[in-house]
Structure formats: structure tokens, C-alpha cells
Amino acid sequence: MSSIWSKYSLYFAWIVALVATAGSLYFSEVMHYIPCQLCWYQRILMYPLVILLGIASYRGYKEIYSYVLPMTILGWMIAFYHYFGVEQEVFGQLESPFCQIGAPCNAKWINWLGFITIPFLSFTAFTLITILMIITWRNCKQSKRSEVTS
């Protein structure tokens, strides 16, 4: 018996990507927050996931993890650098080589509860999608093993 997370991991990942994309568009188009260069890199990796995961969810294509995981891991690394390195200054005073032109990477457009910023939301979304894709990968491997043994 599989858990609800295992059974619907593709749908949950699609919903996370959809909410993350809608949120970033809301912040930039409705609230008029200007995205920095690191934000744009994260968007470039997140926006296609809405389409890829939506189609995969509809068709039940569990092998999509092989296309999605590289994108989410790269997006996670950029979001990690952006949030922890620049926003929270955990690594000391960093000069980001990415944000020399346009909006500064350390602009805190939102700061909910003292730690939730836009890069934190991106980091969370990429983390959740990565975890859900690992669950999908494990399910895919288990179902292939079941087919071989039966």
C-alpha cells in the first residue's frame, strides 16, 4: 500500500511549481518588485517545471524525474546561495558577482517572521519539488522491480 505522497508526488510537485510561478509573477507584476539577476536564474529553472510536471502528471509519466531533478537541484543551489549567502549574510559580507547590474540581490522586498524572504520561498519550492521527484524516482524503480519479478 503506497502513501498519498507516493501516489500523488507528481501532482504535488506540479502544484508547488504552479504556486511558486504564480507567486513570483504576483510579486513582479502586481506588487512591482523588481527581480534581481539571481531571481531571474531561479525563474528560468522554475517556470518550465509548471509545463513539464503538468503534462507528466496528466499522462502519469513518472520518468520525468530524470528531466526535472537536474533543474530543481540547480535551482536549489542558486536559491541556497541567494538566500543564505546574500540575504542572510551567513558567509560574511559577500559581493555577489551576479548582481552588479539592475536590482540588488540583497533587497528584501518581503521579510515575514524575520526570515521568510523571496529567495527563501524559492529555496523552499525547489526543496519540495526535489523531495517529491526523489519520491517519484523511488516509486518508478519499485514499480519496475515489481514488473520484473511478476
What would the mean pLDDT of 31-41 be, rounded to a whole number? 93
Q: Residues 92, 93, 99, 101: what is their CA dihedral angle, to the nearest 10 degrees?
A: 180
What would the mean pLDDT of 9-38 be, rounded to a whole number? 96
Predicted local confidence at residue 124, as pLDDT: 98
Contact 68, 140 (CB under 8 A): no
**C-alpha–C-alpha distance, residues 74 and 113, integer Å:** 27
| Residue 131 maps to a domain | yes
Taking every pair of Cα atoms in the chain, the longest distance, rounded to a whole number of angstroms, is 59
Contact 73, 130 (CB under 8 A): yes
pLDDT tens-digit profile of 56-109?
999 999 999 999 999 999 999 999 999 988 777 766 565 667 676 678 887 888
Of the candidates 83, 17, 14, the residue with the CA atom closest to the CA atom of residue 45: 17
- Is the model's pLDDT at 1 over the cut of 60? no
Considering its fold, how many domains does the chain have in total? Answer: 1
Question: What domain range includes position 46?
Answer: 4-92+100-145
- Alpha-carbon 28 to chain mean position: 17
Q: Is the pTM of this model over 0.85?
A: yes
| Residue 150 maps to a domain | no
pLDDT tens-digit profile of 107-138?
888 989 988 999 999 999 999 999 999 999 99
| Residue 54 maps to a domain | yes
**Alpha-helical segments (H) within 9-117:** 9-25, 37-59, 65-80
Contact 37, 98 (CB under 8 A): yes
